[in-house]
Amino acid sequence: MAAKKQKKQRVEFDLSKLQGDDRAAMAQMYEETLKDFREGSIVPGKVLEVRGSEVVVDIGYKSEGVIPAREFENVEQIKPGDVFEVLLEGIEDEEGMVILSKERAEQQRRWQQVLDTYKEGAVVEGVVRSRVKGGMIVDVGGVESFLPGSQMDIGPVHDPDAYVGKTLEFKILKINGDRRNIVLSRRELLEERRRDKKRELLSNIKVGQVRRGVVKNITDFGVFVDLDGMDGLLHVTDMSWGRVNHPSELASVGQELEVVVLDVNIERERVSLGLKQKTPNPWDNIEAKYPVGSRLRGRVMNIVPYGAFVELEPGVEGLVHVSEMSWTKRIVRVADVLKVGDEVDVVVLSVNREEQKIALGMRQTEVNPWDGVRERYPIGARITGQVRNLTSYGAFVELEDGIDGMVHVSDMSWTRKINHPSEVLKKGDTVEAVVLEVDPENQRISLGLKQAQEDPWASISSRYRVGQMVSGKVSKLASFGAFVSIEEGIDGLVHISQISDDRVEKVKDVLKVGDEIQARIVRIDPVERKIGLSIKAAGVPDEEFEVKEEMLEGLRPGEDLVDLAGAFDAAFSQTQKEEEWHPGDRSGKDRESPRK
């Protein structure tokens, strides 16, 4: 309250109290300032007295002014007689005192100094003071300027607070004198300097140069390296002589690299870089380093459907084809026998330096079990083995670990036509067979089951004779007759003309499978494995029986229909076709459309 009363007191100052030079200087100041006291002008002021939180200042006017102590950096150091510039904000207030401000005078002087020193487009240095909505406040020569957030850097700024307190360079975008506002940009300055550096870099960079750069960005196809002026692309294929699955395996953002310039495109402003080119190509002397036949150890780097790539040294890989992995096993999936990272022994099979390919083999590191197989399994030898697998055409029998022999369906029975091996065999069966053929080059051994058994047709003539009466069971019907089983594995054919004395239009009208019949043997051919039967002749007394020409119809030598080695299949096939294509009369009069 006392301070407020003091403020209202008018201070009178008498020049007569000053002595000598002070009186002359103050008189001159009065003379100059009295000429033009305008509000908003900057005038010199002299400290008359420091009163607590106020400083009384004389500007040479008829009344003095009071400036708050907070406008001084250190009011304790202020003493009467100190002279400094103040801003005349008002001629008189309600108490009759002039209104002064030292702080605003300094701001105006600084603003004017900035206007006199810098123009739009000029580069200035400033201190980032604080973060505000939409950007930052920057102190430029004592004047607060605005830096929009979009103008802080070339790329996105994720942490603006990290810039606070830093002294940086900026470009002045706009100066508004009326609003005393300055807009800055750091981004434009950086981009302009980067363009200058790019032009300089493109004018100096040459293919083959080694330059240092910093990894700026990593993609799936390569790495972008900042060459201090522009970015160059280091493609993944030029990072290493060896296999690189992803560029991040060899580089990280911010890492400094020394790279070789591979290509420069001035028009498109593109530079291609290489890292592996700094070291010799390991393929240059590959034939001498890895001669054919040499045995090596390597590490599985990649697995593909057709094989595995094995690294022999950094930058050098060879392919082990799936067919070169085992002498005996048929490998369907490489992953079943190998995995990435496995250490394996291999043998070099071939080298192609131009195409940078090396063929390797794993099985060549082991003894080939097919060597000497002819001596171990000579033709005609009897063997015992276990059925390992069945196919549509035969069965594989294991002779020893890794060695299989194959029994074809045609070599499974002397008497039956086997359509599928499952008719007589199953996995796991132990069988006895005879070696028929040995082919170690193609890794094949042919076996025969029937050859290990006595051929019933070899002694057929000693068991049966023409004219003999036999009993049997109908095993299959065909359009041309019926097959009758007279003993295990031995069938005879009753031609349709020999079934009955009456005319038979269809065999199935008279006979059916399973019928027990009696018949006479009218023909035996052990070479062609044929027996002809006649039901009609069974009714003829033994002493009157004789083979007549009509009894041999359909039983002539060489006729396929009665070749019993294939007769069952032919009979079944023909009967099925007749039933599908001729469901009515065989003459075709009642023919219908074929079944789908």
pLDDT interval class at 304 (50, 70, 90):
very high
Termini Cα distance of the chain: 119
pLDDT interval class at 244 (50, 70, 90):
confident
CATH architecture of 286-365: Beta Barrel (2.40)
Q: Can you identify the CATH homologous superfamily of domain 2-108?
A: Nucleic acid-binding proteins (2.40.50.140)
From 190-199, 292-301, 319-328, the region with the lowest mean pLDDT: 190-199
From 60-74, 154-168, 239-253, 372-386, the region with the lowest mean pLDDT: 60-74
Grouping H, G, I as helix, E, B as strand and the rest as coil, residue 535 is coil
One-letter-per-residue 3-state SS of 351-416: EECCCCEEEEECHHHCCCCCCCHHHHCCCCCEEEEEEEEECCCEEEEEEECCEEEEEEHHHCCCCC
Burial of 91: CB neighbours in 10 Å, binned 0-12, 13-18, 19+:
middle
pLDDT at 142 over 60: yes
Instruction: Dump pLDDT digits (tens) for 344-366.
Output: 999 999 999 888 899 999 988 88
Provide the β-strand partners of residue 233. 224, 272
Q: Is CATH 2.40.50.140 the classification given to domain 205-278?
A: yes
Distance CA(473)–CA(492), nearest Å, equals 10
Bigger pLDDT: 190 vs 39: 190
In the CATH hierarchy, which top-level class contains the domain 466-581?
A: mainly beta
Per cent of the chain over pLDDT 90 is 28
Instruction: Dump pLDDT digits (tens) for 143-163.
Output: 788 999 888 888 788 888 888
Q: Which two tokens stand for residue 256?
A: 């400094």
CATH architecture of 373-452: Beta Barrel (2.40)
Question: How confident is the prediction for the chain on average, in pLDDT?
Answer: 80
pLDDT interval class at 378 (50, 70, 90):
very high
Residue whose structure tokens are 């009967």: 575
Distance CA(458)–CA(526), nearest Å, equals 7
> What per-residue confidence (pLDDT) applies to 500?
87
pLDDT at 292 over 70: yes
Q: Which residues contact 394 (CB under 8 A, 6 or more apart)?
A: 406, 407, 408, 409, 421
CATH architecture of 118-190: Beta Barrel (2.40)
Residue whose structure tokens are 């150890």: 297
In the chain, where does the domain assigned CATH 2.40.50.140 lie? 2-108, 118-190, 205-278, 286-365, 373-452, 466-581
Q: What are the distances in angstroms from CA 181 to CA 34, 146, 526?
A: 33, 8, 122
